[in-house]
Every structure is written in C-alpha cells, then in structure tokens.
Amino acid sequence: MSMNYLSEMSFLSNLHLDSISADLIEKDLANSLREIHGHIKVTKTLGVSLQHNSDEKVTQEARAGEQVLLINRFLRTASITKEAMWGWTQRFLALDSFYQKMVDSGYFPARKREEWLEDGTEYDTHAQDLIPILHENMRKLDQYVEALEKELAIAENRLLKERRTARKKKRWSIRIRPARTSTTNHAVRVKKGKWPVWKER
C-alpha cells in the first residue's frame, strides 16, 4: 500500500495545533511499530537467505552472472530495509518523545499515556525496550550491506574473467577452423552449333 505523502506531511507539520489528539498520536505510533516489526521480519528472512547463499556448494554451482544478479537483489533488499527501518524508528522515537512531553506539560492526561504503553498494540510500546532490538537489527543490516558489497565486487570480477575467457575461446575457434575445399566439378556452357553442350573445366 503506497503512502499518502500529503496526509503524512500534514500530520507531522500540524503536531503543534490544538486539533492534534492523543488518539491520533497513538494511531501513528501503532502504525510505525507495525512497519518497524515488518522490516525486522524481512531482516531475519534476509539473514537466512544469505546464510544459504554463502554455502560453498551453492556458490560454486552458480555462474558468475547469476551470482551478480542474486547479490544485487540481496543488496537492494538490505539497503531498502535498512533505510526504511531507520526512517520509521526515527519517526516512532520522535513522536513517542513528543507524546511524553505533552503529558508532562498537562496537555494530555497521564492515564491515557499509561494505557497506551500497557495495551496500545500487540507489540511492546516502550521505547527503552524497543531501542536495543532496533539497534541489533540495524547493526545486522549494516553488516549485510558491507558483506554483500564485497561479494558483489568479487562476483563482478569473476564475471569479467568469464567473459574474457569466452571471447578468447571464440577467437581461437575462428582461427583454427579448416579452410573449405570444394570437390564440385565446375561446368561451363559452350555453344557449339545449334545445340549447347557442357564442357568440363
């Protein structure tokens, strides 16, 4: 589902207005948590896939071109997941801190905030509990990206060598190809009198 960018920007830019309620903030926090945990699942799945791909047999059986494509897909997934998770994490932490500030200033009732922290969503809503989990997953994604970039460079070099070898083999096959010899008797049509005859040459 694509994001409604105008609605998102309007919500964030209007947090200072009296029309912003605790319910709206909690709704946005809950959505941020869903997005964060969705990206955590992607990170786990990516880790399993990378572990399988690092298997020596799988690596040896795959051609360099296939490896380049596969690593590029992994790298794209890791980079997008890392960027998205960091964005949603910043949003959640900033909005959660804002919510607490509004409670401390007496703008929102403290009881409302306490209920949200206890039973707001299916996920843990306490920032102090979420931060270590997010830090661990962000660290993993950093490691994945770094490792994949190195693997991609190796695979690209391997692909370049394969192409050079293939071109050399092709050139050699052209050089050693035997010359064609023709055993066909060529005939020349010669007119002699009224009727034409064929003369071997």
Predicted pLDDT at 133: 94
Q: Is the pTM of this model over 0.85?
A: no
Looking at residue 124, its pLDDT comes to 87
Instruction: Tell me 14's DSSP state.
Output: T
b vs e for 92-127, b when ≥16 Cβ sit within 10 Å of the residue's Cβ?
A: bbebbeebeebbeeeebeeebbeebeeebeeeebeb
Average pLDDT (36-64) is: 82
User: What's the average model confidence in pLDDT over 10-32?
Assistant: 84
Residue 40 pLDDT: 97
